[in-house]
């Protein structure tokens, strides 16, 4: 989906950092840092020195089995130890690690020491449940402190976590859970959403009926809604009961650098979600380095990333990056517009947030009211802003820069993916910025624009975004699907380079301008969802014979779903059925699947082998040339 970035898009328009930003910055010279990054071994081993290792690595990068790269082989390390335990020996002991706030204005502050106690108690409790190193534990939880504690407790004992976003519903949940074969599931009585409490437990209960591997369900009493103990089944236990009386110390499991850390599902071109697998040491190094250098994290920061922990942004930059750097991370449970459109700015003022990282869709949503809400609060604590998840249109960039950052905060437009684990293309605070461009590759990253044969295209021309060298926090494989890993990412373009799945262009300064996905993945309000997943939700409704979906541009959400359906005989696409279909898709996938329009058709464009050609539908939709139609069925 190509965004309308023509208005205001001006490659010559450059914003330079202030002296203040330059003076504070960890990295003072962008070009020199990029130069340093060219020596991968040296650059990344220097970054790895920031952690405490049980045993130092033997080799920084092992590329003997491309593309199955390995990093820091021979090293032994524990993530939770580095994110929590090591800080309690320092002056950070009583510093706030997690500042939880919700839409009702309730807050909970957890210091590093308190976090240490909680993580250990839960880690011990998990062991008692029979969870061992390498076992999978799943979470279907709201943005609540227990979610962070549960992830860290898994790391502490070497269990692999697999979080399911709490905005996904039954169908999506079952697919992900069964693929990961989780033993234990964490869920909660509910989550706050725009004044209501969504009953997560009910969704989990329905889904679990189809998830045979789960032995224990841990229920967090989060909203305090009434679940009586007697209502819990034999395999369910309240979180508070589970940790009661557990010892407050737990030795960290020394993990091999390449031991699995987590699986996180994301959408691809086919209906089956991809289990993106990350391993331990490299992930830690990549995430901490990018956060420190891109958002210039210092001792006194109050860091707020609004992303949900159910997605990679939350994994890398709500929990792991900030805690590995020993800063305070804000965990916010709520929407940007409830109880009103000033809620985020009120939080910035109240807690003195210094770095703020969000999605373009939220900015577009908030900018409709001009400066009305941003002017109500004092935002002078802010130093650096960031965006992630989709291209930011220059108008939204300018609004963010002017009204939120008051023209003094540089905006870090960070391009990356679930698969990359960390930011790969992004400015640093000292970089000259162009609104709408994520600028240049991070030091150590060789990103290029190529054609189908893998030849670099001239500056100014569009092509596929590829990464030519490995980086520490890259995903290692797709869970139990090595073939798909190779086919989707490494084989399409000759030369064994990483194919990101985005279309991109580089301007004459080498700045990248992301144009959108090159595959059938949609970005709805920054959330990644596969066309095929939505189609299978449609065809699981009894009235639908076939369905094809594409993204339709939307001024706020970036994209929404446009569905073309062939109905079974005897059905008509009237108001009632449209409502039913919307409900059904929401039940299967959750509120992330925003339906813009459903139209009835009697035929779908297909290849002779029966694959739906969504490209043709998109071209028709946008009134463009249909392109090569030689493979079309008729
Ligand atoms: C898109 C999110 C433009 C892109 C961290 C990518 C972006 C997909 C940007 C990954 C950006 C992410 N500018 N597009 N700054 N950041 N994207 O896995 O299409 O949910 O391939 O990871 O989001 O989405 P994912």
Q: What is the pLDDT of residues 572-609, one digit of tens each?
A: 999 999 999 999 999 999 999 999 999 999 999 998 88
Query: Can you give the pLDDT at residue 272?
Result: 87
**Ligand 1 touching residue 179 (CB < 6 A):** no
- Cα 415 to averaged position of ligand 1 atoms, centre (Å): 6
How many alpha carbons lie under 13 Å from residue 403 in its C-beta half-sphere? 21
Residue 313 near ligand 1, beta carbon < 6 Å: yes
Contacts of 418 (CB under 8 A, 6+ apart): 264, 266, 276, 311, 312, 475, 528
Centroid of ligand 1 to alpha carbon of 304 (angstroms): 19
CB 432 within 8 A of CB 16: yes
* Protein residue closest via CA to atom 7 of ligand 1: 390
Whether 557 has a pLDDT exceeding 80, the answer reads yes
Worst-scoring range by mean pLDDT, 6-15, 40-49, 395-404, 514-523?
Answer: 6-15
The mean pLDDT of 505-527, rounded to a whole number, is 94
- The residue whose CA has the least distance to atom 20 of ligand 1 is 528
Nearest CA to ligand 1 atom 12: 389
Average pLDDT over residues 441-462: 97
- Which three-class secondary structure state does DSSP give residue 574? coil
Residue 313 Cα: closest atom of ligand 1: 5
pLDDT at 90: 97
For every residue of 39-94, which 3-state class applies, written as one string? Answer: CHHHHHHHHHCCCCCCECCCEEEECCCCCCCEEEECCEECHHHHHCHHHHHCCCCC
Whether pTM > 0.75 for this model: the answer is yes
What is the pLDDT, as a whole number, of residue 611? 85
The confidence score (pLDDT) of residue 6 equals 41
Q: Is the CB of 266 under 6 A from ligand 1?
A: yes
Residue 528 CA: which ligand 1 atom is closest? 20
- Ligand 1 centre and the CA of 530: distance in Å? 14
User: Using a 6 Å cutoff on CB, does residue 559 contact ligand 1?
Assistant: no
- Determine the distance separating the centroid of ligand 1 and the alpha carbon of 252, expressed in angstroms: 34
pLDDT tens-digit profile of 8-59?
466 778 999 999 999 999 999 999 999 999 999 999 999 999 999 999 999 9
Evaluate: CB of 306 within 6 angstroms of ligand 1: no
Domain ranges of the chain: 33-409, 529-622
The residue whose CA has the least distance to atom 8 of ligand 1 is 417
Per-residue model confidence (pLDDT) at position 9:
60
Q: 335: which 2 tokens?
A: 């929407």
Give the confidence band of 420 by pLDDT, cuts at 50, 70, 90.
very high
Residue nearest (by alpha carbon) to ligand 1 atom 22: 417
Q: Please name the residues in contact with 325: beta carbons below 8 A apart, sequence gap of 6 or more.
A: 288, 291, 292, 297
Q: Which pLDDT does position 1 carry in this prediction?
A: 39
Neighbours of 240 (CB within 10 A): 12
pLDDT at 248 over 60: yes
Does ligand 1 have an atom closer than 6 angstroms to the CB of 412? no
Distance 18 CA to ligand 1 centre (A): 28
List all residues 6 or more positions away from 170 whose beta carbon is below 8 Å from its beta carbon. 203, 206, 207, 587, 588
pLDDT band at residue 279 under the 50/70/90 scheme = very high
Q: Whose CA is nearest to atom 24 of ligand 1?
A: 417
C-alpha 24 to ligand 1 mean position (Å): 28
DSSP for 276-333 reads: EEEEHHHHHHHHHHHHHHHTT--TT-EEEE---TTSHHHIIIIIIHHHHTT-EEEEEE
pLDDT band at 229 (very low <50, low <70, confident <90, very high): low
Cα of 600 from ligand 1 centre, angstroms? 31
Q: Verify whether ligand 1 is closer than 6 Å to residue 311 (CB atom).
A: yes
573 alpha carbon – ligand 1 mean position (Å): 34
Instruction: Answer whether 439 contacts ligand 1 (Cβ < 6 A).
Output: no
Pocket test for ligand 1, best of 360, 363, 387, 523 (most atoms within 8 A of CB): 523
What's the CA-to-centroid distance between 286 and ligand 1, angstroms?
17
**Rounded to an integer, what distance in angstroms lies between the CA atom of residue 529 and that of residue 265?**
11
In the reported structure, the alpha carbon of residue 417 is separated from the centroid of ligand 1 by a whole-number distance in angstroms of: 5
| Cα separation values, 222 from 102, 200, 370, Å | 11, 11, 35
87 lines ligand 1 (CB under 6 A): no
| Residue to mutate (ligand 1; options 396, 514, 517, 558; most atoms within 8 A of CB) | 514
Compute the distance between CA of residue 21 and CA of residue 433 in angstroms, rounded to an integer: 13
C-alpha distances in Å from residue 311, one per residue of 70, 139, 265, 306, 333: 24, 12, 9, 11, 14
Dist. CA 123 → ligand 1 center (Å): 33
- Output the pLDDT for position 11: 73
Measure 171 CA to ligand 1 centroid, in angstroms: 24
Q: What is the rounded distance in angstroms from the CA atom of residue 64 to the CA atom of residue 61?
A: 9
The C-alpha atoms of residue 96 and residue 405 are separated, in whole angstroms, by 25
Ligand 1 lined by 514 (C-beta under 6 Å): yes
Residue written as token pair 């040296």: 42
Distance from C-alpha of 434 to C-alpha of 9, rounded to nearest angstrom: 9
CATH no. for 33-409: 3.40.50.12780
Element (H, E) at 530: strand 527-530
Instruction: Give yes or no for residue 3 having a pLDDT over 70.
Output: no
Residue 634 has pLDDT above 90, yes or no: no
CB distance 195 to 334 below 8 Å: no
For residue 416, the CA-to-ligand 1 centroid distance in Å is 5
The answer to whether residue 2 scores a pLDDT higher than 70 is: no
Question: What pLDDT is attached to residue 230?
Answer: 63
CA 478–ligand 1 middle distance (angstroms): 18
Residue 504 beta carbon below 6 angstroms from any ligand 1 atom = no
Antiparallel, parallel or unpaired: β 70-73 and 59-62: antiparallel
Lowest mean pLDDT among 248-257, 261-270, 617-626: 617-626
Two structure tokens written together for 190: 């509910």
User: Vertex 524, ends 519 and 527: CA angle to 5°?
Assistant: 85
Q: State the average pLDDT for the chain.
A: 94
CATH superfamily name and code, 529-622? ANL, C-terminal domain (3.30.300.30)
Ramachandran angles phi, psi of 330, nearest 5°: -85, 130
Which residue minimizes the CA distance to atom 23 of ligand 1? 389
390 lines ligand 1 (CB under 6 A): yes
């Amino acid at each position: 989906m190509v965004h309308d970035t023509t208005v205001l898009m001006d490659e010559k328009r450059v914003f330079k950092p202030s002296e203040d930003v330059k003076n504070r910055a960890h990295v003072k010279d962008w070009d020199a840092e990029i130069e340093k990054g060219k020596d991968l071994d040296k650059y990344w081993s220097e970054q790895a020195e920031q952690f405490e290792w049980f045993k130092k690595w033997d080799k920084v990068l092992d590329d003997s089995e491309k593309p199955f790269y390995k990093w820091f082989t021979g090293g032994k390390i524990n993530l939770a130890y580095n994110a929590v335990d090591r800080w309690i020996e320092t002056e950070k002991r009583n510093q706030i690690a997690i500042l939880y706030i919700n839409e009702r204005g309730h807050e909970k502050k957890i210091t590093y020491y308190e976090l240490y106690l909680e993580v250990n108690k839960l880690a011990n409790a998990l062991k008692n449940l029979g969870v061992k190193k390498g076992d999978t534990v799943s979470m279907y939880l709201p943005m609540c402190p227990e979610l962070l504690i549960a992830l860290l407790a898994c790391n502490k004992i070497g269990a692999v976590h697999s979080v399911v976003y709490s905005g996904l519903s039954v169908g999506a949940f079952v697919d992900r859970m069964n693929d990961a074969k989780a033993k234990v599931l964490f869920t909660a009585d509910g989550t706050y959403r725009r004044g209501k409490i969504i009953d997560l437990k009910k969704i989990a209960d329905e889904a679990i009926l189809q998830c045979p591997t789960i032995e224990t369900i841990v229920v967090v009493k989060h909203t305090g809604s009434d679940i009586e103990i007697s209502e819990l089944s034999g395999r369910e236990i309240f979180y508070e009961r589970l940790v009661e009386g557990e010892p407050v110390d737990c030795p960290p499991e020394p993990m091999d650098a390449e031991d699995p850390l987590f699986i996180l599902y994301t959408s691809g071109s086919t209906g089956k979600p991809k289990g993106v697998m990350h391993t331990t040491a490299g992930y830690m190094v990549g995430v901490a380095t990018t956060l420190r250098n891109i958002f210039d994290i210092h001792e006194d920061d109050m860091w707020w990333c609004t992303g949900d922990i159910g997605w990679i942004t939350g994994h890398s930059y709500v929990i792991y990056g900030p805690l590995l750097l020993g800063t305070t991370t804000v965990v916010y449970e709520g929407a940007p517009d409830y109880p009103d459109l000033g809620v985020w700015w009120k939080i910035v003022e109240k807690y003195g947030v210094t770095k703020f990282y969000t999605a373009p869709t939220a900015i577009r949503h908030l900018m409709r009211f001009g400066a009305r809400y941003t002017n109500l609060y004092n935002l002078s604590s802010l130093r650096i802003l960031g965006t992630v998840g989709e291209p930011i249109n220059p108008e939204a960039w300018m609004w963010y820069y002017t009204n939120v950052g008051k023209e003094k905060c540089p905006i870090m437009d960070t391009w990356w993916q679930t698969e990359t684990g960390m930011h790969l293309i992004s400015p640093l605070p000292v970089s000259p910025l162009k609104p709408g461009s994520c600028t240049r590759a991070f030091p150590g990253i060789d990103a290029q624009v190529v054609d189908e044969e893998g030849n670099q295209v001239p500056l100014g021309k569009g092509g596929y975004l590829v990464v030519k060298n490995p980086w520490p926090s890259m995903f290692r494989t797709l869970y139990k699907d090595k073939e798909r890993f190779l086919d989707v990412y490494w084989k399409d373009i000759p030369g064994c380079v990483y194919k990101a799945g985005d279309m991109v262009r580089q301007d004459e300064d080498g700045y990248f301008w992301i144009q959108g996905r090159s595959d059938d993945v949609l970005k709805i309000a920054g959330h990644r969802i596969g066309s095929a997943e939505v189609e299978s939700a449609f065809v699981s409704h009894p009235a639908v014979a076939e369905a094809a979906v594409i993204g339709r541009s939307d001024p706020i959400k970036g994209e929404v779903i446009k569905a073309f359906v062939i109905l079974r005989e005897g059905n008509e696409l009237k108001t009632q059925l449209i409502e039913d279909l919307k409900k059904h898709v929401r039940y299967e996938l959750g509120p992330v699947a925003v339906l813009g329009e459903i139209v009835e058709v009697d035929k779908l464009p297909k290849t002779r082998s029966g694959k739906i050609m969504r490209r043709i539908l998109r071209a028709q939709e946008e009134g463009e040339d249909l392109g090569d139609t030689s493979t079309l069925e008729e």
